[in-house]
Amino acid sequence: NAGVTQTPKFQVLKTGQSMTLQCAQDMNHEYMSWYRQDPGMGLRLIHYSVGAGITDQGEVPNGYNVSRSTTEDFPLRLLSAAPSQTSVYFCASSSDRGRRGNTIYFGEGSWLTVV
């Protein structure tokens, strides 16, 4: 059972570099989201999508782009990495449908360090 798969698990970037965190889900969920979690804090929403072709900003969108060309994939792009973007990133998917509607399923996280 793959669920939500995100890669890479660990990445070190230099300031100013760009990169893409990949996320895929195989549960046919309509909603996908990206969160960041800083030490000792909860998850903060970066961007989310309610379906293919539709994305919107969350609480902390600056410095990040997303796209949703398919139901399955929701990559997160860091445009020009900054040390303030050092964090753990979680991709998530969910659905309003079914017995476990609104349950959020997370990927295992991506640990990003910007030096």
Asked if residue 5 binds another protein (CB under 8 A), the reply is no
Radius of gyration of the chain (CA): 14
* DSSP 8-state class, residue 4: E
Total residues at interface with another protein (CB under 8 A) = 28
**d(C-alpha 25, C-alpha 93), whole Å:** 7
Q: 44-63: which residues touch another protein (CB under 8 A)? A: 44-45, 48-50, 56, 58
Three-class SS state of 84:
helix
Q: 6-25: which residues touch another protein (CB under 8 A)? A: none
Nearest residue to 89 (alpha-carbon basis) of 25, 49, 34: 34
Asked if residue 104 binds another protein (CB under 8 A), the reply is yes
Binding site for another protein (CB under 8 A): 31-33, 35, 40-45, 48-50, 56, 58, 90, 92, 94-96, 101-104, 106-109
